[in-house]
């Protein structure tokens, strides 16, 4: 390793090395070994921390606070939400350590916004996961919107509520509410618009559907709209353990696109249909960790933060309110300031 490469390597702490680490992040961390070096590992099960620390030539630590206090750590990857909720984010703010926070962040909206304001005030990064933004198919969709398809006008999503403790149950998407939070964030990300209303349709068993409307743009063009339908898995679905079992259909100004898997997109804009396989592209986990490293190095690449989490959770709560009352939830209180 050259001196210049060594200078660019970020010393990281790693929190959480259970099944999610094995399934999603081990390979991503290894693929970015030229960007990051894991120095310390913490897990609620000390034996797991010791095994992974030995793999990565790192040191196992017995407490999360001890990891955040280390002066040789420049950033922390929190890859398993476990029981932590906002505790790692609080430690990150206390010790001025940039943190990547995978999974659900609890439901305390006031605490989420307070932590966001604390991080902004310190000029510090608290990056939230929202992995659906970073799949190869979504990244390609963003390119197409910018170059060929034009802005997204209507979004329709059909998603399957994952069974607990299966590969489909991603961090932050393991329940119906968590899945809805991630899908709502994806709709905001793809449309680039502010939600102004949300309405829930009557639920049947665990199945549900919501409709979201977005604010018109500055030129006065009508706002976009999104429909999200979620259902429990039918027996035929159980053979497909793809972690992003959902169908995203996006109608744009000059065409449309359909995402059926995280690495497959089909699109057309009046000149014929194009079907693209993106299996050779980097995974969502690699993209997220790469962006986290770039931000620590001072890059300006936009990433999701605590306010994005606050907004998506607020919208999901508004959807629950609409379902309970039968009324459409309206107004700027949906997304705050």
Question: What are the pLDDT digits (tens) for 52-97?
Answer: 999 999 999 999 999 999 999 999 999 987 778 899 999 999 999 9
Question: Looking at the structure, do residues 68 and 181 belong to the same domain, yes or no?
Answer: no
**Residue 151 confidence class, pLDDT cut points 50, 70, 90:** very high
Quick one: 23 and 61 in the same domain?
Answer: yes
Residue with tokens 């998603």: 159
13 in any annotated domain: yes
- Are residues 226 and 268 located together in one domain of the fold? yes
Q: Which domain holds residue 204?
A: 133-282+314-330
Instruction: Examine the domain organization and report whether 121 and 145 are in the same domain.
Output: no
User: At 208, is the pLDDT very low, low, confident or very high (cuts 50, 70, 90)?
Assistant: confident
Domain limit, last residue, from 88, 108, 128: 128
- Among 102, 128, 154, which residue terminates a domain? 128
Which are the contacts of 193, defined by CB distance < 8 A and separation ≥ 6? 214, 215, 217, 223, 224
Q: Which two tokens mark 187?
A: 């709709």
- Co-location of 172 and 60 in the same domain: no
96 and 167 both lie in a single domain? no
Contacts of 22 (CB under 8 A, 6+ apart): none
Does 1 have pLDDT greater than 90?
A: no
What is the CATH classification number for the domain harbouring 219? 3.30.360.10
Q: How many domains, the chain?
A: 2
CATH number at residue 32: 3.40.50.720
pTM over the 0.85 mark: yes
Query: pLDDT (tens digit, 9 = 90+) per residue, 94-141?
Result: 999 999 999 888 888 999 999 999 999 999 999 999 999 999 999 999
Residues 43 and 56 in one domain: yes
Average pLDDT taken over every residue of the chain: 87
Judgement on whether residues 68 and 184 belong to the same structural domain of the protein: no
Return the minimum-mean-pLDDT range out of 131-135, 261-265, 306-310, 318-322: 318-322
What pLDDT is recorded for position 83?
78
Structure tokens given for 303: 């990433």
pLDDT in tens, 246-266: 899 999 999 999 998 899 999
Considering the domain boundaries, does residue 107 fall inside one? yes
Strand order across the 264-268 sheet:
273-277, 264-268, 255-261, 246-252, 152-161, 225-232, 207-214, 195-204, 329-330
Structure tokens at 175: 């329940």
The verdict on residue 84 lying in a domain is yes
Q: Are residues 16 and 111 in the same domain?
A: yes
């Amino acid at each position: 390793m050259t001196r210049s490469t060594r200078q660019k390597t970020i010393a990281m702490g790693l929190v959480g090395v259970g099944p999610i680490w094995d399934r999603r992040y081990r390979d991503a961390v290894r693929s970015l070994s030229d960007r990051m070096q894991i120095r310390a590992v913490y897990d609620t099960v000390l034996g797991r921390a010791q095994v992974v620390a030995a793999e990565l030539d790192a040191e196992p630590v017995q407490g999360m606070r001890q990891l955040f206090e280390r002066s040789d750590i420049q950033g922390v990857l929190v890859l398993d939400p476990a029981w932590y909720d906002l505790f790692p984010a609080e430690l990150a703010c206390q010790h001025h350590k940039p943190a990547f926070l995978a999974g659900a962040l609890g439901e305390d909206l006031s605490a989420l916004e307070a932590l966001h304001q604390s991080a902004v005030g310190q000029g510090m990064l608290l990056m939230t996961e929202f992995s659906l933004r970073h799949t190869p198919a979504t990244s390609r969709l963003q390119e197409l919107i910018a170059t060929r398809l034009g802005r997204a006008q209507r979004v329709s999503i059909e998603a399957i509520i994952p069974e607990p403790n299966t590969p489909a149950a991603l961090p932050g998407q393991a329940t119906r509410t968590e899945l809805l939070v991630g899908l709502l964030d994806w709709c905001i990300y793809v449309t680039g618009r502010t939600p102004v209303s949300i309405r829930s349709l009557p639920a049947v068993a665990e199945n549900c559907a919501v409709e979201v409307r977005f604010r018109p743009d500055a030129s006065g063009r009508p706002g976009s709209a999104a429909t999200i339908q979620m259902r429990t898995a039918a027996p035929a679905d159980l053979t497909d353990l793809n972690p992003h079992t959902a169908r995203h259909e996006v109608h744009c100004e000059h065409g449309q696109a359909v995402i059926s898997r995280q690495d497959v997109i089909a699109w057309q804009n009046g000149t014929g249909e194009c079907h693209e396989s993106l299996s050779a592209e980097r995974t969502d986990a690699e993209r997220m960790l790469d962006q986290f490293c770039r931000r620590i190095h001072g890059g300006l690449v936009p990433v999701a933060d605590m306010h994005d989490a606050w907004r998506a959770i607020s919208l999901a709560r508004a959807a629950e309110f609409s379902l309970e009352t039968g009324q459409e939830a309206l107004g700027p209180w949906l997304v705050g300031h």
